[in-house]
Amino acid sequence: MNLRIEEKIISYFERRRILVTGASGYLATNLIHSVKDIDCTIVRLSKSSKFLPVKGGQIL
């Protein structure tokens, strides 16, 4: 990925609260792993209570 694009994405998500619906699904899990090191709060919402553990930023 172009470095300038990555920097724009990171700066957009910094210090924001991100709601991820369907958080136990494949796409949402990969999204969470992609943004976990950004200084943001990730809120996971799913019908299932089974979440894979994620290390990194603040994840609720």
Q: State pLDDT tens for residues 1-59.
A: 567 888 998 999 999 999 999 888 889 988 888 888 899 998 888 887 666 556 555 55
Residue 60 pLDDT greater than 60, yes or no: no
What does the pLDDT read at residue 51? 62
What DSSP element (H or E) covers 44?
strand 41-45
User: In sequence order, what are the residues at sequence separation of 6 or more whose Cβ sits closer than 8 angstroms to the Cβ of residue 11?
Assistant: none
Helix (H, G, I), strand (E, B) or coil at 57: coil
What does the pLDDT read at residue 15? 94
Of the candidates 6, 18, 1, which has an alpha carbon nearest to the alpha carbon of residue 59? Answer: 18
Structure-block tokens of residue 49:
């209570």
Domain that holds residue 20: 3-59
Q: Are 22 and 32 in contact (CB under 8 A)?
A: no
Answer positive or negative: Cα dihedral of 25, 36, 42, 57. Answer: positive
Domain count across the chain: 1
